[in-house]
Structure 1
Amino acid sequence: MAALPRPGLGVYITANWPNRDVFAKFLDAVKGIADFVEIGIPTDNPKYDGPFIRSSHRSVQVKGLDALRGLRLPENAVLMGYAEDFAGRFDELARAAAEAGAVSVLLPDLLIDMPEMLDAYVAAMRREGLAPTFFLPGKFPYALAERLAGYGPLFIYVGLYAATGIKLPVYVERNIKLARSHIGGIYLVAGFAIDSPDKARALIEAGADGLVVGTAAMRRLAEGGVKAAVDFLSEIRRAIK
C-alpha cells in the first residue's frame, strides 16, 4: 500500500450509492484529488452515521459483503463497516476486503461497543495482509490511544464534532493535540462534518495529518452530479496544501 501523504485528503462514499454506475464514475473522478477513499459497506443499521449517510445506506438495495462483489477499489481504499454486522466473521470480512483491493477495514463501533474483539479484528486484518485502522471517540482513555498506536495502524481516526462557522471550537483543537501526544507519529485522521475549505484548513493547522470529507461531498454528488462533487473536493485539496 502507498504511504499516506501529510497533509492528506480522504473522501467517504457508501458503496454503490446513488447507483453502481455513478459510484464508479465518482471513484474514477477523485483519483489525483483524494489520497484515500473510505467505502461504506451498506448496512441496515448505520448507527453512528449522520442522517444523510444513513439515508444512503438505506437506499442501496444490496447490503453487506454482497455489495462488494465485482468491485475493484482504487489504491488506498479503506472499507468502513460496523463490527456488530461482522462479529465472529472478521476473517470473512478481511478476505472480502483483500479481494476487492482494500488496504484496511475501519469499524467505528468496535472500540465503543465491542472492545473485547479488538485483538480478533487486528489478527484477521493481518492474516489477509491488511493494516488495521481504528476509530477513536472524541473522549477516549489515554491508555487506549497508546495501545492502538502500538498495533502500528495505517491511521487512527479521531471522531470530532464542530459547530457551524469557520473557526473550530477550542475543544476540537485540544482533542487533536491530545490524541497526537498519545499516538506519537501514527497517522492521525480527523473528520467532523467538513463543509468548507476553511474548516479543512483549520483541522490540518490543529495537527491532523489528514481529514475525511463525507456528507458535504455526497450532497453535492446527489444535487449536482460528479462534477459538482469533484469541484468541491478540489477546493478542499487546495485549502490544505
Structure 2
Amino acid sequence: MLRRPGLGVYLVAGWPNREIYGRVVKELGGVVDFYELGVPTRNPKYDGPYIRKAHREVETPTWLRPEVPTYAMAYWEDYRANPTKLFNLAAEVGARGVLTPDLLIDFHEDFDTYIKLCREFGLAPVFFVPGKFPHKLVERLAAAEPDFIYLGLYAATGIELPVYVERNVRIIRQLVGDVYIVAGFAVDAPAKAARLVEAGADGVVVGTAFMRRLQKSPEEALAFLREIKVALR
C-alpha cells in the first residue's frame, strides 16, 4: 500500500543527463513515497512544453529507480503494436505497474488487453483519467483494484488553467471509495499540494516543477520536494 498522504515524483529516465539522473535517483528514496519513471518518447502528447523538451533531450535512457514503489509511465500509442515489450521493460526495471496516460483517452478498446498483461506479468493496474471523466468509467476502474487512479488536474503537465480542480478531486473521491487517488499536473507549490490532499487526494505527483529545479540544482530540486512533503504531513 502507498503511504497516505503520499508524495510522488515524475522524471524522464536519464534526464537531464546520466550523471545527474543517477545522483538524484539515489537520494529520492529518502524523500518521496513513490516514483514515476518516464519512458522517453517522440510524442509526449499529454505533457506540457517543458517535459516535451526533456523527452527530446534524452539520448540514452537510464533505468535506475529509487527504493520506493516505482511505476513505468509510457504512452500506449508507442507500444500498441507490441504492448508486451512495454511490460517486459517494466518487469526488468522492477516496476510495480505501468501507467499509460493515453490508454483510456485514445485507445479505450485496449483496456482488456492492458488488464490481461498486468495479470500475466504480476503487475498492479494503474490508471490515468483527465479532469473531465465519465463517472461510470471511473467506477469501472475502481473495480479493477488498481494501486491508484491518477487524476490529471489540467489538460497538460505543468500548465495551470482556471479550473476548480479541488471539485474534481472531491467528485472522484466519492466515486472510488477507498481506492488511492493521485492528483497531478501543475503541482508546483506546497500549499497547492496540501489543498489537493484536503480535498480528498491520497497523494500528489510533482513533475515539471521538480524538473525545472533539477536542471538548475539537484539540491534545490530535492529541497523543494521536502517542502511539499512537510506540507502534506
TM-score when normalising by structure 1: 0.90
- Distance in 1 between residues matched to 2:68 and 2:82, nearest whole Å: 25
1:187 matches 2:185? no
Q: What is the rounded CA distance, in whole Å, between the counterparts of 2:199 and 2:175 in structure 1? A: 15
**1:73–1:102 CA contact under 8 A, matched in 2:** no
Q: 1:81 to 1:209 in 2, by over 3 A?
A: same
SS in 1 for 2:92: helix
Choose from 86, 96, 99 the match for 2:92.
99
Displacement after TM superposition at 1:89 (Å):
1.7
Q: Match of 2:150, SS?
A: strand
Gaps of at least 5 residues in structure 1 are 163-167
Give the letter aligned to residue 204 of structure 2: L
State the Cα distance separating 1:25 from its structure 2 match: 1.0
2:139 maps to what in 1? Answer: 146
Per the alignment, residue 113 of structure 1 pairs with: 106
- Trace 1:46-57 onto structure 2 (pairs within 5 A): 46-57=44-55
Code of the residue aligned with 1:200 in structure 2: it is A
1:71, 1:118 → 2: CA distance? 28
For 1:144-163, what per-residue CA distance to the aligned partner results, in whole angstroms no more than 9, with x for missing partners?
Answer: 0000011110100011039x
Asked whether 1:84 is paired with 2:82, we answer no
Alignment of 1:128-139 (within 5 A): 128-139=121-132
Partner amino acid, structure 2, of 1:150: A
Name the CA distance, whole Å, in 1 between partners of 2:214 and 2:115: 34
TM-score, reference length from structure 2: 0.93
Partners of 1:205 and 1:126 lie apart in 2 by 33
% same residue: 54
Residue equivalent to 2:23: 25
1:169/1:240 Cα in 2 relative to 1: closer, same or farther (>3 Å)?
A: farther
Q: Report the CA distance between 1:75 and its aligned residue.
A: 2.8
- Give 1:5-84 correspondences, 5 Å limit: 5-62=3-60, 67=61, 71=64, 74-84=67-77
Q: How many residues align?
A: 228
RMSD between aligned residues: 1.6
Answer whether contact 2:118 2:125 (CA < 8 A) is retained: yes
Q: Write out per-residue CA displacement over residues 157-199 of structure 1, whole angstroms, 9 at most, x where no aligned residue.
A: 011039xxxxx96731111111111111110000131111111
